[in-house]
Amino acid sequence: MHELSEGPCEAAVLSVAKMLDLNVERYPTRDAMLTLLRSWLYAADRDTLATRQRTYVDALAIALSALHASPTVVQGIALLRLRATTPVKLHLIRCR
């Protein structure tokens, strides 16, 4: 098992992965989960959350990229967890 990479973005990515896990039954398909993530990003933008919680908004964008690159929701969540717990940064998704 990998140790958690240090940094707020990695922690935020893990938090988003957990939130996605909690919503898998309600949004079981990749398209449905992508819609959920887009709605979260839209809400963050509308509420100007990016100015106060940049790492959270970045983590949502990272999750969107991971889900786009994965054939299933479960694989997308696994990719997010791998990203947050692997010392080597994957080129697909990066923290700022």
The Cα-based distances of 94 to 9, 16, 21, 25, 90 in angstroms read: 9, 14, 21, 28, 7
Give residues with Cβ within 8 angstroms of 51, minimum separation 6.
none
pTM, full prediction: 0.80
Q: What is the pLDDT of residues 11-63, one digit of tens each?
A: 899 999 999 999 999 999 999 999 999 999 999 888 887 778 888 888 999 99
Task: Quote the tokens at residue 41.
Answer: 């990003």
Q: What is the pLDDT of residue 55?
A: 87
- Read off the pLDDT band of 94 (50, 70, 90): low
Contact 24, 76 (CB under 8 A): no
Instruction: Flag whether pLDDT at 68 surpasses 60.
Output: yes
Distance of alpha carbon 95 from alpha carbon 50, whole angstroms = 14
Instruction: Flag whether pLDDT at 5 surpasses 50.
Output: no
- The domain limits of the chain are 8-85
Instruction: Flag whether pLDDT at 89 surpasses 70.
Output: no
Higher pLDDT, 88 or 5: 88
Contact 18, 84 (CB under 8 A): no
